[in-house]
């Protein structure tokens, strides 16, 4: 047998999977060269291990429990998606949102971190409001269909 069937049987997935995996390793390798070149390998390694430990031992049980509470309800994804996006924004921008990077940010950009908390709260409010409106519109359309 030749062609895609042999490839899939030998490798276990399509050639595109291997190409994507190779691209991911190339990007990770490039990032590692930048970290080493900047001389922050030890700090990066500590941060990376800390992120893994805090995710696996703290965050995973918390959001698994929260998801267990929401599971099985019609509105689950209308809470899950905006909460995930809001938490992702908080995770990425937390030093600015919580003001813990005030001195560094002011010296680098000449600006204050004060607006970030308000902006994050407004974005979170908009995400949940938009999701609530979408849920209400879907419920209304479903009731109209049922009649």
Query: Cα separation of 42 and 46, whole Å?
Result: 6
Query: Cα separation of 27 and 21, whole Å?
Result: 10
CB of 14 closer than 8 Å to CB of 7: yes
Q: Which pLDDT tens digits describe the chain residue by residue (147 residues)?
A: 556 678 888 889 999 999 999 999 999 999 999 999 999 999 999 989 999 999 999 989 998 998 888 888 889 999 999 999 999 999 899 999 999 999 989 999 999 999 999 999 999 999 999 999 999 999 999 999 998
Buried b (16+ CB within 10 A) or exposed e, 90-127: eeebeebbeeebeeebeeeeeeebeebeeebeeebeeb
CB of 7 closer than 8 Å to CB of 15: yes
Q: Per-domain residue ranges for the chain?
A: 1-38, 40-71, 74-147
Report the 10 Å Cβ neighbour count for 82. Answer: 21
Report the 10 Å Cβ neighbour count for 66. Answer: 13
């Amino acid at each position: 047998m030749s062609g895609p069937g042999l490839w899939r049987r030998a490798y276990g997935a399509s050639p595109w999977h291997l190409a994507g995996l190779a691209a991911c390793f190339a990007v990770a390798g490039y990032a590692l060269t930048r970290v080493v070149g900047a001389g922050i390998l030890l700090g990066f390694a500590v941060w990376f291990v800390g992120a893994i430990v805090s995710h696996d031992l703290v965050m995973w049980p918390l959001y698994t429990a929260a998801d267990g509470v929401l599971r099985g309800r019609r509105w689950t994804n209308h809470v899950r998606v905006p909460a995930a996006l809001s938490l992702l924004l908080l995770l990425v921008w937390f030093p600015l949102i919580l003001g813990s990077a005030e001195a560094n940010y002011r010296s680098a950009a000449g600006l204050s971190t004060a607006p970030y908390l308000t902006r994050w709260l407004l974005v979170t409010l908009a995400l949940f409001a938009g999701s609530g409106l979408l849920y209400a519109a879907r419920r209304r359309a479903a009731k109209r269909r049922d009649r």
